Chains A and B, each alone.
Chain A
Amino acid sequence: MPDPFRLLEALVLLTALVGFLGLIWRRNLFLRALALDVMGTGAVALFVLVAARSGLRTPILDRNELIRAASPDLSWADPIPQAVILTAIVIGLSIQALLLVTIARLSRLDPLLETSSFERLLLESSVPASSGRRS
């Protein structure tokens, strides 16, 4: 029986890896943004998992808990990673919003959102000297 923590950690890292591979290999821009979100989910899950390593009990004391707190086998969750990841969730959300707005703008050029058709935008202009000259 493997350590369940290790197993979950491996699954979470696998999620992030799958997201990263999707980011690399998907041709459609929208799916790339989605893959980025999968990666973000992996990161959030990792922090939640890290917080739960020392225990699952919410680290908030009320009066009854205080009485029981003397018993040694209370295992509290670690509040720090959970608090920290909230910021990252907000940042991730706002970046997703910006990405989707930009993608929506770009969809006027190519409604299929193929990466290659946007890559062509740069190629047309960046061949130096021989073909295009720009100021």
Chain B
Amino acid sequence: MAMSALTLAIAWLLLPFLAAFSAALLPRLARPLALVCVLTTLAWGVWASLPGRQVLFELIGSLGVQLQLDAVAAPFLLLNALVVLAVLVDSWRQPPPGPFLLLLMVLLGGLNSAFLATDLVSLYVALEVVGITAFLLILQSREPRQLWIALRYLLVGNGVMTLFLIGTGLLYLYTGSFRLQSLQELPSGSATLAVGLALVMLGLLTKAGVFLSGLWLPQTHAEAPAQVSALLSGVVVAGGICPLLRLALLLPAQQPVFTWVGLASVLLGLVYALADGDLKRLLAWSTLSQMGFALLNPAAGGLFVLGHGVAKGALFLVAGKVPSRDLSVWGRQPLAPALGLPLLVGALSIAGAPPLLGYYTKASLETLPPTGIPGLPVHVLVWLLPLLMVGTAAVYARLCWLPLGAGWQVPAPGGLLLALVLLLVGLVGPLLPGGSPFPSTAALGKGLAVLAAGAGVEALRRGLARPVTALGFRRRLRLPSLESLVDLLGALAVVGAGLQLLLLRLQPLSAELLAVEAACLG
């Protein structure tokens, strides 16, 4: 039984690559093949999310590739299947130019491998495959702007993956293995070790679009074609988050690092999302903040990313079809319900409105471990978290000020599909065995209060917009632009150095290290 499951799973992992190759030879088969790849991924995602399912593959012996199909990977597989399905449905009638479907399949396969990989080298290969595919997807039209965005993406992505590789090499020196599990047995206190771990984490944080290392994200996600934005913001960032969550679960002693970086990312994303005037950039900044949330509680992070990714996919698919992305004229023109409804459902779900999937994923995120972290006691965290969620609600309240028009042609079926998933899973989820229970009245009240507070913040922002502009504060209050190439690359250095300091500080210093320090000081 175990053997056959193994063979089937390997066949499933290879299928998208074989399908992409066949589709290159027989273009007519591209759409059905892509659909088969998506549906098999969906099936495996459902299978893996049933309780007690876990398959560990060790290919070519104990030193070879190690993949793990388990409960950590399950929500990510579901997310991958759902977002790619929505994009496929959206482009079913008229696929975008170029080898779009082929790249879509490779992306699906690369991400599946990234979600399952539990050794650093397989992870490196999978993430590079994802990176190259995303680069080619961004380059759909060869306008100079997209060329530049894609080049930036590749430069940052490959630079940081090279650092990841160096970190992997340094860790191998100590552990003699590329396994993530072997990191558990590390001796503490070595500087080389902290450097290695920091570089590996930097690579994953950058791929996940977290904090300063994710500064490449807003412009890239905003300038890419709509369907590609949906893929990037919905599921490609999850390729970095999933291994990060695996790391956080394996190394509970390092949780403070994840929590601090996550909180910083949430704040940064919220401030910039609230200040931005462009629909797609607002959504992209919000992705940066939501990925920060996912790191706060690694046990619930996967489900949270699933809820976010499905909603963000719907939002980006719709954002490509709205008449104007400019938020200063947002809401003056009514939107067709086929566009407006997915937009509203997606926005409300991320804000955490009760019957939708996003509400449950947010609630499960709030079940924090009972002990706080050093420097941040748990009672502060308990107050901080709802406050940050109010911020998220305020960001999405900007989008919900939206009159719906008439007309029911469906130009964006993908968005509608994802919105339906959000609603149905939210309604049916509590009835399933093993699903989260129905929320209590108090919990519901709290959720609604967060939404109301968010709407209040938005009303305040609207009220203050005119006097602030009239008094000339707008120019002075403008946030610094952090998105030139130097900023992006410099941010990598800053985050890498910061991670090293944090990791060294958390580990008790060894005698050897103290002696070196004393020698330097003397």
Contact = CB atoms under 8 A, between A and B. Distances in A.
A102 B147 contact: yes
A36 B144 CA distance: 22
A73 interface: no
Nearest to B474: A130
A105 B159 contact: no
**Contact size range, B:** 35 or more
Nearest to B192: A9
B148 A128 contact: no
A81 B172 contact: yes
A105 B142 CA distance: 9
A95 to B, nearest CB: 5
B484 interface: yes
A84 B172 CA distance: 12
A122 B150 CA distance: 12
Interface string A1-45: 000000000000100100110011100010011001001101100
Contacts of A29: 151
A115 interface: yes
B486 interface: yes
Contacts of A102: 139, 147, 150-151, 154
Name the residue in B135, B324, B485 with the highest tally of chain A Cβ atoms < 10 Å from its Cβ: B485
A106 B148 contact: yes
A87 B123 CA distance: 12
Interface in A112-126: 115, 118-119, 121-122, 125-126
B404 interface: no
B151 A133 contact: no
A56 interface: no
A109 interface: yes
B278 interface: yes
Contact of B159 (A23, A81, A84, A118): A23
A25 to B, nearest CB: 8
A115 B485 contact: yes
A103 B155 CA distance: 11
B88 interface: no
Contact of B155 (A36, A42, A43): A36
B63 interface: yes
B277 A129 contact: yes
A24 B489 contact: yes
B178 A103 contact: no
A133 B493 contact: no
Nearest to A80: B63
B173 interface: yes
Interface in B412-438: none
A32 B278 contact: no
B498 interface: no
Nearest to A115: B485
Contacts of B493: 20, 24
Nearest to A53: B173
Contacts of A125: 145
B479 to A, nearest CB: 12
Interface in A47-79: 47, 50, 53
17 contacts: A20-B493, A24-B490, A29-B151, A39-B162, A39-B163, A80-B178, A87-B121, A92-B162, A95-B132, A95-B158, A99-B151, A106-B147, A109-B144, A126-B219, A133-B329, A134-B324, A135-B324
Interface of A: 13, 16, 19-20, 23-25, 29, 32-33, 36, 39-40, 42-43, 46-47, 50, 53, 80-81, 84, 87-88, 91-92, 94-95, 98-99, 102-103, 105-106, 109, 115, 118-119, 121-122, 125-126, 128-129, 133-135
Interface of B: 63, 121, 124-125, 128, 132, 135, 139, 142, 144-145, 147-151, 154-155, 158-159, 162-163, 165-166, 169-170, 172-173, 178, 219, 222-223, 276-278, 281, 323-329, 483-486, 489-490, 493
What 8 A-B pairs have minimum CB-CB distances, sorted nearest first?
Answer: A128-B277, A129-B328, A46-B169, A24-B489, A43-B165, A118-B148, A129-B277, A102-B151
Given A23-B489, A91-B128, A99-B154, 19 more contacts: A24-B486, A24-B489, A36-B155, A43-B165, A46-B166, A46-B170, A47-B165, A50-B172, A84-B121, A95-B158, A102-B150, A102-B154, A105-B147, A106-B148, A109-B144, A118-B151, A121-B144, A128-B276, A134-B325
